[in-house]
Structure 1
Amino acid sequence: MNGKLEQLAKAAKQKTWVSFTHENDPYSLLHWSVAGPYHEAKDVWLLQNEMTFEMKEFPTLEEAIAWLGEHMPHITEVL
């Protein structure tokens, strides 16, 4: 895992969310859990493009980080 991915994973574990840029687009990776009488129980990590609001769900942080390593190799800043 490269330095930016390690930094991203560490921040996400500590704060349950992290923002970063990839090819000048802002993204957020955040832990999302929903439960209640009118909501389906859900415990996932969401990757969201903050420009288009497109989202991708991952069951674990490790799977999200692995996907980022394969599909987003040019993370420039971890915010």
Structure 2
Amino acid sequence: MEQKLKSIKNTAQNKTWVSFLNKNHPYTLLHWSIGGAQSVEKDVWLLQDEMTFEAQEFTTIDLAIEWISEHMDGITDVL
């Protein structure tokens, strides 16, 4: 599991996003620096459920990875 988390973090930092499967359920971790119709500036990492499009915001990638490690125990593929 530790290797999968490391791969998620490294890929996200290099590409600004990474997709992965947790128990065959797709998620994406991505950096959001500008968004919305008004070009709202943000500097957050989003963890998005690709089935429901619900997202959680994290102020740093380390907090996002920590949350993933505590709540997702079935990561199989890092895309």
Amino acid at match of 2:56: K
Percent identical residues: 56
Amino acid at match of 2:48: Q
Which digits, 9 at most, give the CA deviation of each residue in 1:46-74, with x for residues without a partner? 00000011100000001000000000121
Structure 2: any 5+ residue segments left out of the alignment?
none
**Equivalent residue runs for 1:1-79 within 5 Å:** 2-34=2-34, 38-79=38-79
Structure 1: any 5+ residue segments left out of the alignment?
none
SS in 2 for 1:3: helix
Instruction: Tell me how large the CA RMSD over aligned residues is.
Output: 1.4
Once superposed, which parts of structure 1, at least 4 consecutive aligned residues long, lie more than 4 Å away? none
SS in 1 for 2:77: strand
Equivalent pairs, count: 77
Amino acid at match of 2:69: G
